[in-house]
Amino acid sequence: MPSTPRTLDLASFIVDRSLDEPLHLQIYHGVRDSILNGRLAPGLRLPSTRTMALSWAISRSTVLAAIDQLKAEGYLEGRAGSGVFVSHTIPDRLNCVKSDRAKSDAVPTGGNPSPQLSNRGSSICDEFRIRREYFDHATPFRPGVPAEGTFPSKRWSRLSTRLWRKFECDPPLVVEPMGYSPLREAIAVHLGATRGVSCDADQIVIVSSTQHALMMLGQILLDSGDSVWIEDPGYLRAQAALAAVGAKVEPIPLDDEGIDLEHALRTAPSAKLCYVTPSHQYPLGITMSLSRRLALLEWSARSRSWIVEDDYMAEYRYAGQPLVSLQGLDEFARVIYLGTFSKTFSPALRLGFIVIPQELISAFNAVRSLIDRCPSFIDQAVLAEFMREGHLGRHVRRMRRVYDERRNCLRHALNSEIPCLDLRPVQSGMHTVAWLPSGSDDCRVARHLAEEGVVTFPLSTMCHRPIAPALILGYAGWNRVQTLQQVRRMERSLRTILSEYCS
């Protein structure tokens, strides 16, 4: 222990009027710190407030404010008539812990490189470490980036102003667990008309993202260790979300019709849930065939398992209409349908939804009421109004035109500039798959391109079983100029790295 003065050394104690910190707080902090660092020992008697006030030339009430606060917090204790003392209830132990601190290794220091994470925490970090190089800024051709300047800001702003006025706007005092009713109504109508989804508003649960949806589903439908079928290659974040809730993720290969059901039944016959992207398989863009859809539905009906249909990109289809959803074909209420507005508007909006079977409503209501809530009321209200006024359809049609142009621009540029890339026709979505010459290493290629400022996702990072080398290129976010410029860059750097293939 440091030697402790018999009383508070008023001289050493500066109260500075020039500081922003109010005087009573200066005293409060000064005394508190002296107590905590042991300079003022337990039992020590403080000078009278009058003495302190005089010696610091400040009002006594200021001193009293500080002392009262220190008493309230237990640093000081007053004894009737005999003054104010440093509290005895401060364990000396802490001072020891502190003086140990430098040498002690029992006590971690702030900079500890390996914090005590859980196993799942660590595995998420490892997972991320592998991928992080591909989670980059909004640079062509990063997939999933929407077109700049297309967010309907003016209308959004006008609607929100109007809503604030309309409600005067007290947001509701009690949050609706499942989400803002008018938005749920609007979504139910929209889905019926555009996706053949049959549901009532009370089956709609507003969430902030697909990951959020999957975590809720995991809590309600899965126990840790339960098997879940996912598509291989597939949507990384969905897999991570399912793994995070303790599911045993079973990667199932794909064929031309979609997820390979026979293979799935062989490898994990007792799966509790199947996560699929039937309209536009992520990342390959395969549309699940009708027969595969029906077979999957029959499996879920017979095994009483759940199908999670992630219809993340249905609205961006450039040829034919979007295919009808699995949910719309389902007669046995086994399909849980996920949708998002991240692609329709912006990932910054953080709004999506789940369509659940009637029989799950009470469970979702319970989870929502107890351990989760819906996203921001305000955005929900604005989006509801936006949809109610029929702007969504117009917005989607507009985006579809933009993205179709950008898709064609990229395809033509790649075909003419980099013929050694094999592009299969893509009818929908916001990205395309460029197959590399077999034998090449897509991670190496992607890293090489990243160094040149061209961002792509290597397919193999989305595969559990390697299939063939390919790059995922997002086209939605980039205008003609950006696209052509990046394709030229790509061409230059691929010429060196793929010389043995492209010539």
Strands 306-310 and 335-340: parallel
CA separation for the pair 485, 373 (Å, rounded): 45
With CA atoms as reference, report the closest residue to 252 among 433, 434, 463.
Answer: 463
Confirm or reject binding of residue 439 to a copy of itself (CB under 8 A): no
Determine if 182 is a binding residue for a copy of itself (CB under 8 A): no
Nearer CB in complex with a copy of itself: 37/416 = 37
Query: Side by side, which strands form the sheet with 457-458?
Result: 422-423, 431-435, 470-474, 457-458
Which span sits near a copy of itself by CB under 8 A: 1-9, 78-86, 298-306, 391-399? 298-306
Within 417-436, the residues that bind a copy of itself by CB under 8 A are: none
Q: Element (H or E) spanning 85, and its range? A: strand 83-86
- 115 part of the interface to a copy of itself, by CB under 8 A: yes
Using rule CB under 8 A, residue 110 touches a copy of itself? yes
State yes or no: residue 111 binds a copy of itself (CB under 8 A): yes
Quick one: which of 72, 80, 102, 481 contacts a copy of itself (CB under 8 A)?
Answer: 72
3-state DSSP assignment of residue 230: strand
Measured between its terminal Cα atoms, the distance across the chain in Å is 77
Least spacing, CB of residue 78 vs a copy of itself, in Å: 14
Stretch of residues binding a copy of itself (CB under 8 A), selected from 10-18, 50-58, 362-370, 462-470: 362-370
Please pick, from the candidates 82, 321, 438, 496, the single residue that binds a copy of itself as defined by CB under 8 A: 321
Q: Which of residues 157-176 bind a copy of itself (CB under 8 A)?
A: 157, 160-161, 164-165, 167-175
| Residue 359 binds a copy of itself, judged by CB under 8 A | yes
* Residue 372 binds a copy of itself, judged by CB under 8 A: yes
By CB under 8 A, residue 482 contacts a copy of itself: no
Grouping H, G, I as helix, E, B as strand and the rest as coil, residue 472 is strand
Stretch that binds a copy of itself, among 48-56, 217-225, 395-403, 437-445 (CB under 8 A): 217-225
- DSSP annotation of 202 reads G
DSSP annotation string for 323-336: PPPHHHH-SSS-EE
Q: Which is nearer to a copy of itself, 332 or 415 (CB)?
A: 332
> Read out DSSP for 334-399?
-EEEEEESTTTT-GGG--EEEE--GGGHHHHHHHHHHH---S-HHHHHHHHHHHHTTHHHHHHHHH
Binding to a copy of itself by residue 215, rule CB under 8 A?
yes
Listed ranges 300-308, 391-399, 405-413, 428-436: which one lies at the site for a copy of itself (CB under 8 A): 300-308
Closest CA to 379 of 354, 349, 353, 355: 349
User: What is the Cα–Cα distance from 432 to 427, expressed in whole angstroms?
Assistant: 10
Q: Could you tell me the smallest distance in angstroms from the CB atom of residue 501 to a copy of itself?
A: 32
Q: Does 14 engage in binding with a copy of itself (CB under 8 A)?
A: no
Total residues at the site for a copy of itself (CB under 8 A)?
A: 132
Query: Binding of a copy of itself at residue 125 (CB under 8 A)?
Result: yes
Contact present, 352 and 339 (Cβ < 8 Å): yes
Q: How far apart are CA 433 and CA 451, in angstroms?
A: 20
Which is nearer to a copy of itself, 391 or 437 (by Cβ)? 391
Output the smallest distance, CB 437 to a copy of itself, in A.
Answer: 31
